[in-house]
Amino acid sequence: MTDLDIKKGSNNKSAYNLRDPLSELTESHTLAVMVDNESGVLARVIGLFSGRGYNIDSLTVAEVDHSGKLSRITIVTNGTPAVIEQIKAQLERMVPVHAVHDLTVEGRTIERELALIKVAGSGEKRVEALRLADVFRANVVDSTLKSFTFEIKGTPEKIDAFCDLMRPLGLKELARTGVAALSRGK
């Protein structure tokens, strides 16, 4: 197109403004999807992901506006930039979907997850678990003579790190909520 006197990317919707659309590298994105809290809406969203072969790394959903019957679905997904764009476009055209926010590109975000972690052990390991929990600011929400149940909240990475440390110390059971996320500011 050297003959054409058109500046590529002069339009803000141009494909040239995508972050390298043809990149084969997958990236992780956190999407916040506002939906009508109607029957089957979660199945619809999940069905889109499974039907079109997209990935779900984490999923959180709850009604956030009781009077307006709106739910917020927070999905952590991964894919190439082109796939991420497709996911957003496919979500946006669903009838119960009001808005799709790609928190990963909309600026800085706060991401939080909560986990409950049961660690069983005795002696030195038990003490070490408690000490590390303190470092990570995890609370003990249940304890027996042979176990602790910690409650920890933070970014998924922080929880991953804590779980990795707890594993050799006797991690027995783990429950995670998935990510809740908001963009910073305003």
CA 62, CA 74: separation in Å to the nearest integer? 9
Strand locations in 37-130, DSSP E? 58-65, 70-79, 97-102, 109-120
CA 83, CA 15: separation in Å to the nearest integer? 13
Alpha helices in 76-185 (DSSP H): 81-92, 123-135, 156-166
- Check residue 6 for interaction with another protein (CB under 8 A): yes
Span of 37-45, 59-67, 113-121, 126-134 interacting with another protein by CB under 8 A:
37-45
- Check residue 19 for interaction with another protein (CB under 8 A): no
Degrees to nearest 5, angle at CA 176 with 175 and 179: 170
- Check residue 185 for interaction with another protein (CB under 8 A): no
Please identify which residue in 19, 62, 63, 92 interacts with another protein, judged by CB under 8 A: 92
CA 124, CA 36: separation in Å to the nearest integer? 51
- Check residue 90 for interaction with another protein (CB under 8 A): yes
- Check residue 3 for interaction with another protein (CB under 8 A): yes
Dihedrals phi, psi of 92, to nearest 5 degrees:
-65, -30
Span of 81-89, 111-119, 128-136, 156-164 interacting with another protein by CB under 8 A:
81-89
- Check residue 43 for interaction with another protein (CB under 8 A): yes
Q: Which is nearer to another protein, 70 or 116 (CB)?
A: 70
Binding-site ranges for another protein (CB under 8 A): 1, 3-6, 8, 10-16, 18, 21-22, 36, 39-40, 43-44, 47, 51, 82, 85-86, 89-90, 92-96, 98
